[in-house]
């Protein structure tokens, strides 16, 4: 694959985002490749656990690729494109095995949404993470806000989405978005556990989740994000990003 690397270590699938030169931003090719990966793992009876990480030291994922997911998309085009990635996140969140995001670097926007689709998150000391969409004139486009309500308290979710700021790993740990902070995140959590153990624990974990309600909340979020996609504030934010990078040459 061009933008995603998939390895399998004793039935633990490790998916590594592989666009480090673009801070692992999610472009259309990566969406397609993630869809293919999820379609495979969803039905893999041998699967014990699912790990999501990324190449490079700087970023786990800088969100949607602002060249692909630009402001000129119509509401309908934005909804269709955002929905593809939303369905990937929903499938990750409802996999029948434990899922773990090993955050090799910062996560921003959709990168936080993607990490939040996993059951658990381990980050690195000193990194930062932010649902920054509010500062870009939009809201999470892949249903990540709805997922966040499943991971941390409603009040902290509400606050983070409205603050739209980057949080240091220590703060992300305090609010319960990170479960661990380490200099070298790994998935030894799963070591020595059988498929039966791991799948049962995930079955128990999913019992508290109303999957239909989550699906509907995620879809509603994508629809609202699409309504905002062509807004002046969003177009200006994207232009500012282009201009910033143009100036830097
Ligand atoms: C649908 C997605 C939507 C959602 O649902 O919520 C979102 O994800 S909204 C959030 C979108 N993401 C962002 O706004 C982040 C944009 N990027 C940045 O702010 C900065 O790049 C950075 C992440 C803070 C890193 O800054 P810095 O260390 O100064 O590196 P560069 O800016 O030079 O980036 C290196 C390289 O990567 C490219 N890049 C980074 N982020 C993106 C992106 N989101 N889309 C496309 N490309 C991205 C950047 O352009 C540089 O490449 P070159 O220009 O080729 O050098």
**To which H or E segment does residue 167 belong?**
strand 166-168
Which of 27, 16, 8 is CA-nearest to residue 104?
A: 16
Cα-to-centroid distance, 136 and ligand 1 (Å): 12
Which of 68, 66, 183 is CA-nearest to residue 122?
A: 183
Query: Which protein residue's CA is at the shortest distance from atom 36 of ligand 1?
Result: 22
Nearest ligand 1 atom to the CA of 132 is 10
pLDDT digits (tens, 9 = 90+) for 19-48: 999 999 999 999 999 999 999 999 999 999
Query: Which protein residue's CA is at the shortest distance from atom 9 of ligand 1?
Result: 109
pLDDT digits (tens, 9 = 90+) for 65-87: 998 887 788 999 999 999 999 99
Confirm if 239 and 149 have CB atoms less than 8 A apart: no
Q: Confidence band (pLDDT; 50, 70, 90) for 249?
A: low
pTM passes above 0.90: yes
pLDDT for 19: 98
CA distance 224 to 227: 5
Cα-to-centroid distance, 198 and ligand 1 (Å): 35
Confirm if 18 and 7 have CB atoms less than 8 A apart: no
CA distance 82 to 86: 6
DSSP strand pairing (59-61 vs 4-9): unpaired
pLDDT for 123: 98
Cα-to-centroid distance, 245 and ligand 1 (Å): 9
Which of 17, 18, 22, 27 should be mutated for ligand 1, with most atoms under 8 A from CB? 22
Longest dimension (CA), the chain: 54
Query: Which protein residue's CA is at the shortest distance from atom 32 of ligand 1?
Result: 245
Confirm if 89 and 50 have CB atoms less than 8 A apart: no
CA distance 53 to 152: 21
What domains are defined for the chain? 4-185 (3.90.226.10)
pLDDT digits (tens, 9 = 90+) for 190-234: 999 999 999 999 999 999 999 999 999 999 999 999 999 999 999
Nearest ligand 1 atom to the CA of 110 is 8
Confirm if 115 and 178 have CB atoms less than 8 A apart: no
User: What length does the chain have?
Assistant: 249
ipTM of this predicted complex?
Answer: 0.97
Across 122-142, average pLDDT: 97
HSE, side-chain direction, 13 A CA sphere, residue 90: 22
Nearest ligand 1 atom to the CA of 66 is 45
Which of 18, 20, 22, 23 should be mutated for ligand 1, with most atoms under 8 A from CB? 23
Q: Confidence band (pLDDT; 50, 70, 90) for 129?
A: very high
CA distance 178 to 122: 6
């Amino acid at each position: 694959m061009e933008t995603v690397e998939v390895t399998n270590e004793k039935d633990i699938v490790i998916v590594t985002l592989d666009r480090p030169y673009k801070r692992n931003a999610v472009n259309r090719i990566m969406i397609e490749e993630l869809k293919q990966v999820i379609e495979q793992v969803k039905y893999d009876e041998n699967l014990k656990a699912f790990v999501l990480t990324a190449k490079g030291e700087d970023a786990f994922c800088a969100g949607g690729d602002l060249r692909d997911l630009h402001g000129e998309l119509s509401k309908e085009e934005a909804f269709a494109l955002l929905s593809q990635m939303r369905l990937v996140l929903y499938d990750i969140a409802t996999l029948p095995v434990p899922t773990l995001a090993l955050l090799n670097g910062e996560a921003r926007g959709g990168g936080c949404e993607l990490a939040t689709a996993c059951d658990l998150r381990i980050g690195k000391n000193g990194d930062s993470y932010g649902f920054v969409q509010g500062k870009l004139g939009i809201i999470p486009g892949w249903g990540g806000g709805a997922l966040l309500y499943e991971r941390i308290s409603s009040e902290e979710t509400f606050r983070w989405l409205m603050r739209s700021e980057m949080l240091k790993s220590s703060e992300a740990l305090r609010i319960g978005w990170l479960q661990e902070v380490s200099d070298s995140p790994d998935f030894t959590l799963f070591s020595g556990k059988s498929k039966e153990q791991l799948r049962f624990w995930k079955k128990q974990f999913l019992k508290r989740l109303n999957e239909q309600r989550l699906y509907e909340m995620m879809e509603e979020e994508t629809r609202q994000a699409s309504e905002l996609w062509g807004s002046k504030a969003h177009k200006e934010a994207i232009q500012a990003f282009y201009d910033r990078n143009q100036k830097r040459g």
